[in-house]
Amino acid sequence: MFILTLVVPILVFGLFVFKRLESPLARLPGPRYTTFTALWLKFKEFSRQRRAYIHTLHTFYGPVVRLGPHEVSFASGAAMKEIYTSGGGGYDRSELYEMFKQFGTRTLFSMPPKAQHSQRKRIVADRYANTNVMKPEVLDGLKRKAADFLANCVRQKECVDVYVELHCYALDGASQHLFAPYGTNSLNDAQDRAIMRELSYHDSLQQYLFKYYLPAVSALLATFSRPKFVPLANNFVLDACEKRDPAQTSLLAKLQSKAADLEALSAPAECMDHLAAGIDTTGDGLCFLMHQLSLPESLAVQEKLRRELVENPDAPFEQLPYLEAVVKEALRCFPPIPMSFPRVVPRGGRTLDGFFVPEDTIVSCQPWTLHKNETVFPEPLVYRPERWLEAEEERERERMFFAFSQGSRGCLGRHLAIAEMKILLREVYSKCRTTISSEHKGSMDLSDQIISSRPKDQTCKLVFEVLQE
């Protein structure tokens, strides 16, 4: 009996070790412990260090790194293309995304199955097409919001917390696109500002990870402490979805016209999801960008931008190359979603960067690492918009740009986000110079959330100096 209790565990353990060593993933580069366990990776996730940990592993092991017995990270353009764009939509999303249901209902973002996703995308995609975003009524609405933003900043002048104002701008911009004319007005209205605070200041990382990895423990914990939720935002979306006469450019109008093809809560769930997708991404992206432009070493960039803006007051923003470069370089240096977008290797497995990866393995690339490729982006840590204007390596740079992901599951709101960013920068930098306020004490280090990354202390204090015409 004693022999049995000793031998059986040894045999089971031996079999476990043998199976792990036999797996094709055992031959991939990566720390040896990752052949056997993903525990260290989980620890890094819970402690907000996953992105930095993966980046360090890539600098040590190269473009292919095993993260755990069933997970691999890649950092090459070829692997990124295969994972995210092969066959149009790339590989399926992992189950992680299913956590992002809204009102208990699956949305475009949380739908892993391809067929369901393409059906939903056919309904909503035209509202985010460039042709819809560039309609005068949409752009005029954004311009009014940008003017409100600047008025608020000029009023506060010596010390403006642009983190707050930019998240209001992002909320108002996204909600206008969803519900016009029933979007929020958080730049001017204290009640709507509370919605921004509710959405942008909560910390959901550990709560989501618990739900994903330990659903039973998470359910138990939820009986003791009420999980964080967003009642103001939920109520706002549910009320807005009841409006019967939204603008034709809005997502709501489209969802209402297709109500017969959608299950009951799909319209509010989809709108809630896009609101969440649009506020922190654009708000944080603009915040990192304005902070960077306000640093002493960027004043020449600001001046060059201002010259382009004042010399071309009537040119459409998409015809301003330096503005484009300023935005793109910021999204390269500070991608608002810098961490991996996990996908599942299809049946039969695939060969990626010369290594066979079996089916069901989770694979991913992260913008944080792809954007620091020294061959494509020399001196990758330096913010230098000019690199986007150089003809040399142009195709490679575009190919590696991953801030919005790629393929048919990439960012749907990309054109809207770019329009919001450019309209705001044009409004601010044709009239003002911004510098860092002496009262700015918060850290601008990236703090990873479950999806996006934000400035660690969620504050960024700038001075606005109005320039003479």
Identity of the residue, 68 or 367, whose beta carbon is nearer to ligand HEM in the bound complex = 367
Q: Does the N-terminal peptide bond of residue 367 adopt cis geometry, omega within 30 degrees of 0?
A: no
Q: Does 413 bind ligand HEM (CB under 6 A)?
A: yes
Identity of the residue, 50 or 431, whose beta carbon is nearer to ligand HEM in the bound complex = 50
Binding range to ligand HEM, per CB under 6 A, among 300-308, 350-358, 373-381, 409-417: 409-417
Q: Does 338 bind ligand HEM (CB under 6 A)?
A: no
Site string for ligand HEM, 355-394 (x = CB under 6 A): ----------------------------------------
* Shortest-Cβ-distance residue relative to ligand HEM: 413
- Residue owning tokens 């475009």: 108
Whole-angstrom Cα distance, residue 328 to residue 403?
9
Query: With b meaning 16 or more CB within 10 Å and e meaning fewer, what string describes 92-110?
Result: bbbebbeebbbbebbbbbb
User: 355-357 and 160-161: which strand pairing?
Assistant: unpaired
Q: Does 283 bind ligand HEM (CB under 6 A)?
A: no
Please report, as residue ranges, which positions from 253 to 282 form the binding site for ligand HEM (by CB under 6 A): 274, 277-278, 281-282
Q: Does 285 bind ligand HEM (CB under 6 A)?
A: yes
Report the nearest approach of ligand HEM to the CB of residue 306 (Å).
Answer: 22
Contact 270, 124 (CB under 8 A): yes
Report the nearest approach of ligand HEM to the CB of residue 247 (Å).
Answer: 15
Q: Does 112 bind ligand HEM (CB under 6 A)?
A: no
Cβ-in-10-Å burial (0-12, 13-18, 19+) of 363 comes to buried
Q: Does 410 bind ligand HEM (CB under 6 A)?
A: yes
Mapped onto helix, strand or coil, the DSSP state of residue 255 is helix
Binding range to ligand HEM, per CB under 6 A, among 233-241, 287-295, 317-325, 408-416: 408-416
Percentage helix, strand, coil for the chain under 3-state DSSP, each rounded to 5: 55, 10, 35
- Residue owning tokens 């010259």: 307
Report the nearest approach of ligand HEM to the CB of residue 333 (Å).
Answer: 12
Please report, as residue ranges, which positions from 189 to 228 form the binding site for ligand HEM (by CB under 6 A): none
Size of the site for ligand HEM (CB under 6 A): 24
Report the nearest approach of ligand HEM to the CB of residue 108 (Å).
Answer: 5
* Inter-CA distances, 16 with 3, 31, 38, 46, 368, Å: 20, 18, 14, 26, 34
Q: Does 405 bind ligand HEM (CB under 6 A)?
A: yes
Report the nearest approach of ligand HEM to the CB of residue 404 (Å).
Answer: 5
Binding range to ligand HEM, per CB under 6 A, among 69-77, 130-138, 384-392, 403-411: 403-411
Q: Does 336 bind ligand HEM (CB under 6 A)?
A: yes
Sequence-distant (≥ 6) Cβ neighbours of residue 374 within 8 angstroms: 380
Out of 64, 233, 241, 337, the only residue in the binding site for ligand HEM (CB under 6 A) is 337
Contact 305, 429 (CB under 8 A): yes
| Residue closest to 294 by CA, chosen among 457, 463, 443, 459 | 463
Identity of the residue, 38 or 80, whose beta carbon is nearer to ligand HEM in the bound complex = 80
Sheet holding 160-161, edge to edge: 160-161, 461-466, 432-436
Contact 167, 200 (CB under 8 A): yes
Alpha helices in 110-244 (DSSP H): 114-128, 130-133, 136-156, 162-179, 190-200, 205-213, 215-224, 231-240
Q: E strand or H helix at 464, and its extent?
A: strand 461-466
Q: Does 339 bind ligand HEM (CB under 6 A)?
A: no
Q: E strand or H helix at 380, and its extent?
A: none
Q: Does the N-terminal peptide bond of residue 113 adopt cis geometry, omega within 30 degrees of 0?
A: no
Q: Does 455 bind ligand HEM (CB under 6 A)?
A: no
Identity of the residue, 63 or 338, whose beta carbon is nearer to ligand HEM in the bound complex = 338
Out of 232, 295, 299, 411, the only residue in the binding site for ligand HEM (CB under 6 A) is 411
Can you name the residues that pair with 64 across neighbouring β-strands? 74
Identity of the residue, 183 or 285, whose beta carbon is nearer to ligand HEM in the bound complex = 285
Phi then psi dihedrals of residue 465, to 5 deg:
-110, 115
Q: Does 183 bind ligand HEM (CB under 6 A)?
A: no
Identity of the residue, 411 or 436, whose beta carbon is nearer to ligand HEM in the bound complex = 411
Q: Does 404 bind ligand HEM (CB under 6 A)?
A: yes
- Chain residues that interact with ligand HEM, rule: CB under 6 A: 108-109, 121, 174, 177, 274, 277-278, 281-282, 285, 336-337, 341, 403-405, 409-413, 416-417
